[in-house]
Structure 1
Amino acid sequence: MPNERLRAAMAAGGWTYAALAAKVEVDPKSVERWVNLNRTPRRTTAMVAAETLGEDVHALWPALRQARAARAVSPELVALYEQRADLPVSAFVEMLTQARERVDVLVYAAVFLHEAYPRLNDLLRERAASGCAVRIAVGDANSPNVQQRGQEEKFGHGIESRCRLALMHYRPLLDTPGIEVRTHGTTLYNSLYRADDQLMANAHVWGVNAYGAPVWHLRRHSEGGMFDTYVQSFNAVWATATPVEER
């Protein structure tokens, strides 16, 4: 089916195949295929042609709009889960098991990990013994931001008790070389679970418990991508967090 919009635009401006081809630096046969076979040129070429014709590039080649949307999906996105409850704990465990250099956990409580996988502390000790730097940041139960989160997710004081429970779970790790545990009082927008170049980000949604909110699994693809954005966020919170002392 011919590209009639393009044909009309060329006719209105008196453009021949050869003249437009010369302007955008392509072969005249390419322009002919754009018109008669409705072929879509490369985006950069299409933008020059559209500007030359005084037309909107997406009006001439709607497929470019779809192509842009397709490329908007980050190459770092491995998987997207509608809610954390859809993600088996084994997925977190498998990711942490693969860590060779670093494990970072930033949460308010996330007691589901210890409850569903009682060997979590053993796993973290094994990772630390193999050379991993392990950093765990849990919510400070006395922080106004943590308490506010409890009210927002309609869990009341439950979140404070969960933060204390999480800290109780991690306390046995305080004397383990290579493992640091801190408490933070930040407004947390995502719970983060990182193992080297992989990361699970559990979104925080107002009025919804974390288990009912989405999770995206990322794998670092290039410098400055989504993965690095979350790592920078973790580091910023970590810098404000308070080290937990051994009793």
Structure 2
Amino acid sequence: MPNDRLRDAILRNGMTPVGIAEKIGVDPKTVERWITQDRTPYPRHRHAIAALVRESESYLWPNAVTPEKASRLGQNEVIQVYSRRSSVPYEVWRRLIDRAEEHIDILAYAGLFLVEQDPGLIDTLRQKAQDGVSVKILLGDPTRPAIERRSVEEGAPGVMAAKIRQVMQYYNRLGDTSDVEVRYHETTLYNSIYRFDDEMLVNMHVLGIPAPHAPVMHLRRLSGGDLFRTYADSFDRVLLSSYKLERTEVAP
């Protein structure tokens, strides 16, 4: 059975089996066997290929990394834990946004603080998109019950929907900028996720506590680790169920 994940990752990065073979120092026929016969490379070759195609080992070879090893690697993916989001230095957000070259993914209900702490964020996102960065922003649908339930749980009825409408006044300025998607969701939000290529800030949510006062994990993806991928997969699942609203539907 062929390894379609490996083949797709190689092609998606504009590479060929021959090119991969040259870079890691093996025979091209060996790479072909890894693809067509789903042979598992030695660990040193898995590490090298995963780095070249910017995928995790656990994704390319699901059976090669034991759950125990993936768990140990996942622990090493944690760079920093902040007791509350408000204690994350602004410089951290700015560095992650500025260095992103492929993806900027935002999953929140509103995430209004991002544009409040950086008035130039919209222009930055527009420029990033023009430079080829894929920008995906998933916000809560202010017309759905889940949003009002969150407001009530935090003791501020109506506030969350108002924040979403307020932040949309900023994101609407992006217009139809290529490579920028602003979409809506109505999922129960267990975590807000802010992904910048291979780094991520995960804002955990605690019942009755506003997001600025809840903990944040700073993660950096490691090949073979499973913690970063867990949250990346969560973002992707919400993305699949997200949808667009007409601007008039989110107007005050």
Length-normalised TM-score, structure 1: 0.68
**In the alignment, what sits opposite 2:181?**
180
CA distance in 2 between partners of 1:168 and 1:176 (Å) = 15
For residue 243 of structure 1, give the secondary structure of its aligned residue in structure 2.
coil
**In the alignment, what sits opposite 1:156?**
157
Matched, 1:197 2:203: no
CA distance in 2 between partners of 1:134 and 1:88 (Å) = 22
**Aligned partners of 1:146 and 1:186 also within 8 Å:** no
- Deviation (angstroms), 1:126: 1.6
* TM alignment of 1:18-57, pairs within 5 A: none
* TM alignment of 1:73-222, pairs within 5 A: 74-222=75-223
**Aligned partners of 1:96 and 1:194 also within 8 Å:** no
For residue 242 of structure 1, give the secondary structure of its aligned residue in structure 2.
coil
User: Which structure has the greater CA radius of gyration?
Assistant: 1
% identical aligned pairs: 39
**Aligned partners of 2:77 and 2:225 also within 8 Å:** no
- Deviation (angstroms), 1:222: 2.2
Residues 121-170 of structure 1, C-alpha deviations (whole Å, 9 max, x = no match): 11111211111111001111111111111111112111110011122211
**Aligned partners of 1:193 and 1:199 also within 8 Å:** yes
**In the alignment, what sits opposite 1:27?**
none
Counterparts in 2 of 1:206 and 1:174: CA distance versus 1, 3 Å: same
**Aligned partners of 1:174 and 1:245 also within 8 Å:** no
**In the alignment, what sits opposite 1:240?**
241
CA distance in 1 between partners of 2:120 and 2:169 (Å) = 15
* TM alignment of 1:55-70, pairs within 5 A: none
Letter in 1 for 2:150: R
Q: Give the gaps of 5 or more residues in structure 2.
A: 1-71
Moved more, 149-158 or 194-203: 149-158
Letter in 2 for 1:126: Q
- Deviation (angstroms), 1:78: 0.6
Moved more, 82-91 or 95-104: 82-91
CA distance in 1 between partners of 2:191 and 2:167 (Å) = 17
Residues 17-67 of structure 1, C-alpha deviations (whole Å, 9 max, x = no match): xxxxxxxxxxxxxxxxxxxxxxxxxxxxxxxxxxxxxxxxxxxxxxxxxxx
For residue 75 of structure 2, give the secondary structure of its aligned residue in structure 1.
coil
CA distance in 2 between partners of 1:91 and 1:220 (Å) = 16
Q: Give the gaps of 5 or more residues in structure 1.
A: 1-70
Residues 181-211 of structure 1, C-alpha deviations (whole Å, 9 max, x = no match): 0011111011110010000000110000000
- Deviation (angstroms), 1:174: 3.0
**Aligned partners of 1:202 and 1:216 also within 8 Å:** yes
**Aligned partners of 2:83 and 2:216 also within 8 Å:** yes
Moved more, 75-84 or 139-148: 139-148
Letter in 1 for 2:93: F
Number of residue pairs matched? Answer: 177
**In the alignment, what sits opposite 1:44?**
none
CA distance in 2 between partners of 1:111 and 1:90 (Å) = 17
Residues 191-234 of structure 1, C-alpha deviations (whole Å, 9 max, x = no match): 11001000000011000000000000000012451111111100
Length-normalised TM-score, structure 2: 0.67
CA distance in 2 between partners of 1:132 and 1:109 (Å) = 22
CA distance in 1 between partners of 2:165 and 2:182 (Å) = 13
CA distance in 2 between partners of 1:145 and 1:224 (Å) = 32
Moved more, 126-135 or 207-216: 126-135
